[in-house]
Structure formats: C-alpha cells, structure tokens
Amino acid sequence: MGFDSHRFAEGRPLKLCGVKVPFGKGLDGHSDADAPIHALIDAMLGASGLGDIGEVFPDTDPKWKDADSTALLAEAMGMLLQVGWMVGNCDITIICEKPKLGPHKLAMREKIADVLGLDMSAVSVKAKTAEGMGFCGNGEGVAAYAVVILDEAEE
Ligand code: MG
C-alpha cells in the first residue's frame, strides 16, 4: 500500500493520475506533485521489496525537478519487471475537497492503465471528500492512498 499528500500552491497546474484537472491552483512539490501516482509508486515499490519513492526518486535529484510523474511510474514499472513482478491490479483513493474529481476518474483510469500496460478493468480510481475535516477537508491539499496486487511478470 502507499500514501502521499501534497499542499496546494498557486501558479501550478493540478495533475492527478497524470490528468490535468482544471482548477485555480496546483500542488506543490519537487516533481509535478501528482499525489495519487506517488502513492501508487510507493505501493508498487513496497510490495516488490524495492524501497520507497523517496529513495528511488530523491527530491534532491535535479533529474526529477518538475518531472511528469507518469514518467516516474513507467520507470518504477521497469524496476518491478527487472525483479520479476508486474502490477496485477491497483486501486487508488484520492481525498480532495475541491475540485470535484468525479468527471475525471475515467480519464485517470485510462492514463494509469495506459502507462502500466494494463486493461482498464485492473485499474480503479476513487475520489472522496473529507467532509470538511482536516487538511484535505479545509482545502489545504490533496491526499491519496493506493493498493496494488502484484503478479509474476510474464517471461
Ligand atoms: Mg509526493
């Protein structure tokens, strides 16, 4: 399983699961701050014994400055394949008070499925509010959880 959160910041595009979501602000971070993809990468790396996203893609590395997180996801998938694993299926939950993500969930599933080379039926993206509570509820930022089940990589 993986978790990530990022704080909203002015002057940045909002990208979630590799999809640009129209909103007045984006998320702050070294890369494009795509919290659900970061949670997914952490779940993948963790389940395959490869460490965590901070070790593999350190935010001190200029290579990942403003990086498109779908590129990090593709790189993480390559690392899994090297040790004999692939993602069997995955489930992502995004917690965000605003904007409403319902209209974007299908595009998010398509994007993740495309990057991982999976059928869309193996990729789930869910979105929830935090009912006005805490840092997600008061609109400070976005949090995301991800769960993956690994399959043995095909030879
Ligand atoms: Mg992150």
What are the residue ranges spanned by the domains of the chain? 2-152
pLDDT, position 63? 84
Torsions phi, psi for 67 (to 5 deg) = -60, 145
Q: What's the mean per-residue pLDDT of the chain?
A: 95
Cα 143 to ligand 1 centre (Å): 9
pLDDT, position 64? 82
**Burial letters for 88-126: b for 16+ Cβ neighbours within 10 Å, e otherwise?**
ebbbbbbbbbeeebeebbebbbbbbbebbebeeebbbbb
Q: Which residue numbers in the chain have pLDDT < 70?
A: none
pLDDT, position 62? 85
pLDDT, position 59? 83
* CATH 3.30.1330.50 assigned to 2-152: yes
Cα 94 to ligand 1 centre (Å): 13
Cα 5 to ligand 1 centre (Å): 6
